[in-house]
Chain A
Amino acid sequence: QSVLTQPPSASGTPGQKVTISCSGSSSNIGTNPVKWYRQLPGTAPKLLIYDNSQRPSGVPDRFSGSKSGASASLAISGLQSEDEADYYCAAWDDSLNGPFFGGGTKLTVL
């Protein structure tokens, strides 16, 4: 059972907008910034979003993050076939004294 809850799967067609949710609690997302990572098959994760909505340099503005209360979401617009990957949210948990990941969402581009 993950500390942060994500839907196991999501899908969309090329060009569409897809949103992936991440639900937590007051001890993690409710008080700490959220990060999002993307993992392509057989590779290491890559940082997509930090501080809830900030993009590292090189990450396209098709990717956007938001947070409200103890939930966060990642939106991907203009979906492309190369976006097919696993997406993970992460946040520090004050009660458990560590960073925790969601269970991951497998995005399929139909």
Chain B
Amino acid sequence: QVQLVQSGAEVKKPGTSVKVSCKVYGYTFTTYGISWVRQAPGQGLEWMGWISAGNGNTNYAQNFQGRVTMTTDTSANTVYMEVMSLRSDDTAVYYCARDRDSTGYYDFWGQGTLVTVSS
């Protein structure tokens, strides 16, 4: 069955970067894109960007342009999301989600990765 399995929790210092992975199972990797959505403690959902698993095209949210990079490894059925120049307000749970039509139709989600930014 379809599963998205994310890498484990991370603790990072301000100014450093973090790379979170999302490995997919149960469908042809290149068929659908993957979006990343984050949720700060006690807050709502925030879309960060999308990557096509077919050709690597990306669409980043304005708030994250220049600070986030999304990549794919087709041989490993894995998508990566790197956030650079981390700040304390980047502390959040980061989710990957399969995007059926690249417009926010997320039918399967990863379990989430907690990234804590603290000095």
B-binding residues in A (CB < 8 A): 2, 32-33, 35, 37, 39, 44-47, 50, 56, 88, 90-92, 96-104
Contacts and interface: CB of A to CB of B under 8 A. Distances in A.
23 contacts: A2-B44, A32-B103, A35-B106, A45-B37, A45-B95, A45-B106, A45-B109, A46-B109, A47-B106, A50-B107, A90-B45, A90-B104, A91-B104, A97-B59, A98-B50, A98-B62, A98-B104, A99-B103, A99-B104, A101-B45, A101-B46, A101-B47, A104-B45
Contacts of A56: 107
Given A32-B103, A92-B103, A92-B104, 15 more contacts: A35-B104, A35-B105, A37-B45, A39-B45, A44-B112, A45-B37, A45-B109, A47-B105, A50-B105, A91-B104, A96-B62, A98-B62, A98-B104, A100-B47, A100-B104
A66 to B, nearest CB: 18
